[in-house]
Structure 1
Amino acid sequence: MSGRAHRVADLVRKGILDGTHPVGSRLSEPEVCAALDVSRNTLREAFRALAEERLVVHELNRGVFVRIPTAQDVHELYDARRLVECAAVRDHGRRTDGLADVAAALERAQRRADAGDWVGVGAADVDFHRALTALGSSRIEALMQGIWNELRLVFHGVGRPEEFHGPYLRRNHAILDTLRERGGVAAARRLRSYLDEAERQVLRAHRAAPPAPGA
């Protein structure tokens, strides 16, 4: 991918992850090209990269849309998290250098909750779990980047973000406390229970949600 297409992909990806481009919405080529001052060829190259990341989908004769996650997507994302994130916490939970990043992400989430920014809480929640995974290694963190991006897309479909993220913010505090006081094995058990319940709740929210635009 060319450098210009890479930059365009970064900008469109940011808009998808922060909710500027809602799940199921159409990404109009003329509008995006005009907004970013790029050619259609460059934009199409960026769209192909985002499709490989499972963030957009091209529909014949209709155009490019922000991808609508399916129940199978949710299952696979949470399976990957149970496999990788729980192992990182269990096996590397006593790495005190990484715990500072975990705590910092949790503090960001709490500040955003206090300010009523629940979409921001969702982004900081992903940062918290990314930092937990990075307790394993920076390579594992890089390997999981696509998972975290898809997860943020999933979170945009859970309905009222305060009702979803509020209880899990409290549980994130409990995971960090357990990690500090009792170690990785106990924290991994708590995290596994957390992920199982979160998956069930996300699936319920997606089943109850009205069809997204373009669905």
Structure 2
Amino acid sequence: MSDNVLEELSEDRGRLGRTSTAERVAVILRTRIIEGGFRPGMRLAEEEIGNALGISRNTLREAFRLLTHERLLVHELNRGMFVRKLTVEDLEDLYRVRRLVECAALRQLAAPPCPPPDMTAMETAVAAGRRAAAEQRWRDLGTANMHFHQGLVELAGSPRTDEMMRGVLAELRLVFHVMENPRRFHEPYLPRNEQILRTLQRGDAPGAERLLAVYLDDSRHQLAEEYARQLR
């Protein structure tokens, strides 16, 4: 495990407070997966992570168990805990869920009466994406893209859907690692995020949904093609 990842976990230690729980540890580890810190196939060393976070082995194992149920980790007998490697079937199912959830979040905005949506999270994510692209921080650009879609789902106003989407995006980040050139994959979607946001700001939710549907299809095709190429 890299020193950078352990340093990041040490920084997260303060978020646990005195009442640390396995759920809070799972949130931290899930966030690190979404941000690209843990790669598929990476072994998660209990002692290193436990020391970095300042938690007991039992607490960490419970957090691992929670993330295993979320299909983010997998236990290998006599080898330990690993970040899961996703298959092309996982990819197809994740995009099926994304299309159902994200498009529905936009579709409901067109159904009156609907209050003006709070797009602050999406605006913040676009701004973060611009900064990351300008500084050529492609991993951070991918994270900003994740936050954009999380913000889009938050327009539905459903805490349960928000929680489900966080799990979907964590799995999706593991899929994204299949792309050998993260810049070529992530950079073209930044202006498309901006286009969806501008369309929503004009009050055209159906137009934003159409843009999103094409966006998701294009992203899925790119990733599926890369999976197929690597399996040849």
Pairwise TM-score range, normalised by the shorter structure: 0.7 to 0.9
1:151 is matched with which residue?
172
- Give the structure 1 partner of residue 100 of structure 2: 83
Q: Map of 1:95-114 to 2, 5 A cutoff?
A: 96-114=116-134
Distance 1:25 1:207, change over 3 A: farther
Match of 2:40 in 1: 23
Instruction: Decide which of 123, 130, 137 is 2:143's aligned counterpart.
Output: 123
Give 1:185's match in structure 2, choosing from 206, 214, 217: 206
Counterpart pick for 2:153 among 126, 133, 138: 133
Structure 1 residue corresponding to 2:81, chosen from 37, 47, 64: 64
Deviation at 1:182, TM superposition (A): 5.9
Which of 153, 173, 183 is residue 194 of structure 2 equivalent to? 173
| Structure 2 Cα separation of the partners of residues 125 and 95 of structure 1 | 25
Q: Alpha-carbon deviation of 1:83?
A: 0.6
1:79 Cα shift? 0.6
Q: Which range is displaced more, 182-191 or 67-76? A: 182-191
Distance 1:149 1:22 in 2: 11
CA offset at residue 51 of structure 1? Answer: 0.4
Kept in 2: contact 1:158–1:164 (CA 8 A)? yes
In structure 2, the CA distance between the partners of 1:153 and 1:28, relative to structure 1 (3 Å rule), is same
Q: Is the CA contact 2:33–2:170 (under 8 Å) kept in the aligned structure 1?
A: no
1:49-70 CA distances to partner (integer Å, 9 max, x unpaired)? 1101211101122211101111
Query: Structure 1: which 4+ aligned runs deviate by more than 6 Å?
Result: none
Is residue 2:231 matched to residue 1:207?
A: no
Structure 2 residue runs without a partner (length 5+)? 1-18
Residue type of the partner of 1:77?
A: L
Amino acid at match of 2:97: A
Counterparts in 2 of 1:104 and 1:43: CA distance versus 1, 3 Å: closer
Aligned-CA RMSD value:
2.2
Q: Alignment length, in residue pairs?
A: 209
* Greater CA drift, 30-39 or 118-127: 30-39
Give 1:149 shift.
1.6
Contact 1:82 1:195 in 2 (8 A): yes
Task: Rate the CA distance shift 1:13–1:180 in 2: closer, same or farther, 3 A.
Answer: closer
Asked if the contact 2:121/2:147 (under 8 Å) is kept, the reply is no
Map Cα deviations across residues 18-47 of structure 1 (whole Å, 9 max, x no partner). 333321111123433344444432222121
Following TM superposition, by how much is the alpha carbon of 1:89 offset from its aligned partner in structure 2, in angstroms?
Answer: 1.1
Instruction: State TM-score, norm by structure 2.
Output: 0.80
CA–CA distance in 2 between the matches of 1:4 and 1:23?
Answer: 25
CA offset at residue 209 of structure 1?
4.5
CA contact (8 A) 1:25 1:66 kept: yes
Q: Secondary structure at the match of 1:58?
A: strand
